[in-house]
Chain A
């Protein structure tokens, strides 16, 4: 009973926040309701290893909500999803962030999330809202694209590729490193890009040509980009074309000391496909209010404007501003390739199996 009252009081405070009441009023309100001792004092965000939040942004959430934000990173995106499915109904946290649009159906089928429709979704473009029942809320998007090493091509007087077709041509033999779609989310996205481009009847032939052209397939983005690709700053790799992100060139600039004037890598705009990252409230959470607050926060301008430089992805909220480094160095593909989510859902596992037979066996 007492817990109920406390939560109601809490709810009032949250509503106050939504109405834009000043911070200290909420703080006072919370203190006034406090003393119950049963109110959850923290909210746990389960996410993948690539999740990054700036300290001051995290602090803003903690101060505004009065909740400590605990971040539980549990591996790469696929691993996190599997672990969440393993504990569905008795979760290790309150909110899961980082389900990729291409794997969304796995989460939905596993009955992982509780529906929540944030009011802030009004500010989010329809094309990112992939679940009409709002079990999963879009938070950011990124484009998976071919990247190439500018220096490598300049030194050899060879034009960098500018289409997917180019990769199957003789001058580009042995130059591409891609990720295994069975084990990597950018790998899966790139496979879907080729299916979107060449269709159900043509993609296998395209990959046969890539195979003949000596494509190198590795398990994960880390290895493809940091080890095999010649253009990354850790670059000892020998392959000048890699499946990465549209924002990778900006990362190459920001993480290099001294910062170069021009991004050392380029993006093949024709090859891009969109990935949306979503978050959801884990079914069975003991802190549903806090979880909803956290989802709202992930859609707030403060967080949305933090994602480009912390995770190298784009905000989904329309009025979020991009940082200058992003405006200057990151590439925004004008119209990326797309596949209808229903089609992905119905065929994903079969496509990956077929790809494995065509390319690896």
Chain B
């Protein structure tokens, strides 16, 4: 009888843990996306049938350029990030947590801000075109590689390569034959994610690519928003979705291998201070190089925010308190809105992502495939077209009883869609690492599944949830693509306010945009630093 009840409650629990995230995804992702795709495919396009769109030489060029730039950006990101990942994975030094935190800042900054910083930094001859896109993509995604690979590296037993050295292998050979194979799953997972992000990158390509370079996502934007050819936009969105599904599937499989290989050592046992001038130069050199690469555009933002005429001052910051024509709120209210929205989005992402993580991690052997599928599904919003999703929300939620399109809570819901995959990836590995014997012991002693969860899983997952919360917060804070479609004008978020100010003439408005960007940067740095405080070696790879 008791057993029956326990089984029932396990089933109920499992249904909830899988069901709620999937229902959320179905309602707020699949439904609006299908609505807009359906409308687009049924409508008459300016550019002919679906086959005409697909065989148009321009489309072929766009698809080719999208794949090419994503691959090249991924390669460049890996090349720039690996030295720092190595240093962070091998050496203990003062300020290590700060470095990890600062590296993450570009990743959560809104693309409009970064693209403008790059326009200011690059000489005119370089700013328009491929190189600018690749460099900006690397700037954005270095964090992904440094954090994933660096964290994983810090768990690799250094004695393995020491043994190789003892056996006479040179450092290069030992790296190639010992470290690299061990590192491969982390490298591949990081590369797959960077590829996904750059494949669907929007703001960077739109601004730095200019009129001559177009990816699938910017072409969707052109067709849907600028020309209003929903048919062509829908066809392109399907092409993009097909690629994204493939990449997500590969990435999820690779990450599953990460978890298997995750018998990591505690960082304290691996990290040691750099010894001798060569190691010190290595640490200093790779971090210094990275600091220059990441710091220069950010420093330009700060410098611009302080420019007043020919001199410097805090005028732009003071001007933030004044109401302006560009916003229906004072800029400070935008700061407040952003914090409130991001907090709400974090709560949603933790609930939905946390449940999914419990379900995925708790799945037994036969259920691993199902768990992986759920994880992959939850990752899809990262790669779907933000433009089409925004349009989808507008037409899907337009009649009672689901007339949600002007509700203020729709904004954190959209932001949560982007934050959930990160929550799952941070929390699930921690839960997987919990020793099953602890749970079994509790169950044997008569604790029902709910209590096992409450007393074993939740406390252990607490810190991981803390880390996930910080990330979800920072990501929601920087989300722009979908928010800009849905945020109400009287309650803009920071990135939306920055975008609005950039679109207005006059030094004060531009100054305000830069000042808000600096404030956003500071909030992001603070939340990421808090995350670092909570991070433990158990908490996933991000």
A79 at the interface (CB under 8 A from B): yes
On chain B, the residues within 8 Å of A78 by CB distance are 225-226
B398: nearest chain-A partner, CB-CB: A90
Q: Which of B291-299, B321-329, B423-431, B519-527 is the contact stretch?
A: B321-329
The contact string, 1 if C-beta is below 8 Å from chain A, for chain B 195-207, is 0000000000011
The contact string, 1 if C-beta is below 8 Å from chain B, for chain A 225-247, is 11100001110101000000000
B502 at the interface (CB under 8 A from A): yes
A162 at the interface (CB under 8 A from B): no
Given contacts A183-B222, A310-B325, contact A219 B210 (CB under 8 A): yes
B506 at the interface (CB under 8 A from A): yes
A245-299 interface (Cβ within 8 A of B): 248, 251-252, 254-257
B226 lies within 8 A of A360 (CB): no
Q: Which of B85-93, B116-124, B165-173, B453-461 is the contact stretch?
A: B116-124
Contact of A233 among B228, B325, B488, B506 (CB under 8 A): B506
On chain A, the residues within 8 Å of B225 by CB distance are 75, 78-79, 82-83
B325 lies within 8 A of A182 (CB): no
On chain B, the residues within 8 Å of A55 by CB distance are 323
Q: Which of B148-156, B354-362, B473-481, B507-515 is the contact stretch?
A: B507-515
The contact string, 1 if C-beta is below 8 Å from chain A, for chain B 487-508, is 0111000000000101111111
A301 at the interface (CB under 8 A from B): no
Given contacts A82-B226, A233-B510, A257-B508, contact A52 B325 (CB under 8 A): yes
A61-109 interface (Cβ within 8 A of B): 70-76, 78-79, 81-83, 85-87, 90, 92, 106
On chain A, the residues within 8 Å of B505 by CB distance are 225-226, 232-233, 248, 251-252, 255, 312
Kindly provide the distance from the CB of B111 to the nearest chain A CB, expressed in whole angstroms.
14
A49 at the interface (CB under 8 A from B): yes
On chain B, the residues within 8 Å of A82 by CB distance are 224-226, 228
Contact of B406 among A92, A180, A252, A254 (CB under 8 A): A92
B46 at the interface (CB under 8 A from A): yes
Kindly provide the distance from the CB of A100 to the nearest chain B CB, expressed in whole angstroms.
13
B211: nearest chain-A partner, CB-CB: A180
A236 to B212, CA, bound (A): 23
Kindly provide the distance from the CB of A245 to the nearest chain B CB, expressed in whole angstroms.
9
Contact of A255 among B323, B394, B395, B508 (CB under 8 A): B508
Kindly provide the distance from the CB of A172 to the nearest chain B CB, expressed in whole angstroms.
17
A80 to B27, CA, bound (A): 25
On chain B, the residues within 8 Å of A252 by CB distance are 505-506
A183 lies within 8 A of B506 (CB): no
On chain B, the residues within 8 Å of A180 by CB distance are 211
A72 lies within 8 A of B226 (CB): no
A81: nearest chain-B partner, CB-CB: B228
B361-391 interface (Cβ within 8 A of A): 391
A118 at the interface (CB under 8 A from B): no
Contact of A219 among B211, B230, B510 (CB under 8 A): B211
B94 at the interface (CB under 8 A from A): no
Contact of A86 among B124, B210, B394 (CB under 8 A): B394
Contact of B124 among A217, A225, A226, A238 (CB under 8 A): A238
B484 at the interface (CB under 8 A from A): yes
Which 4 A-B pairs have CB atoms at the shortest separation, nearest pair first? A255-B506, A233-B507, A52-B325, A234-B510
16 residue pairs of the A-B complex, CB under 8 angstroms, read A49-B503, A50-B503, A79-B226, A82-B226, A86-B395, A92-B394, A183-B222, A218-B211, A223-B207, A233-B505, A233-B506, A251-B505, A255-B507, A255-B508, A257-B309, A310-B325
Residues of A within 8 A of B (CB): 49-50, 52, 54-55, 70-76, 78-79, 81-83, 85-87, 90, 92, 106, 110, 180, 182-183, 216-219, 222-223, 225-227, 232-234, 236, 238, 248, 251-252, 254-257, 310, 312, 349, 360
Instruction: Give 16 new A-B contacts, CB below 8 A, not counting A52-B326, A82-B226, A360-B212.
Output: A70-B490, A71-B490, A72-B406, A79-B225, A85-B228, A86-B395, A87-B394, A90-B398, A92-B406, A219-B206, A233-B510, A234-B506, A234-B510, A252-B506, A255-B507, A257-B507
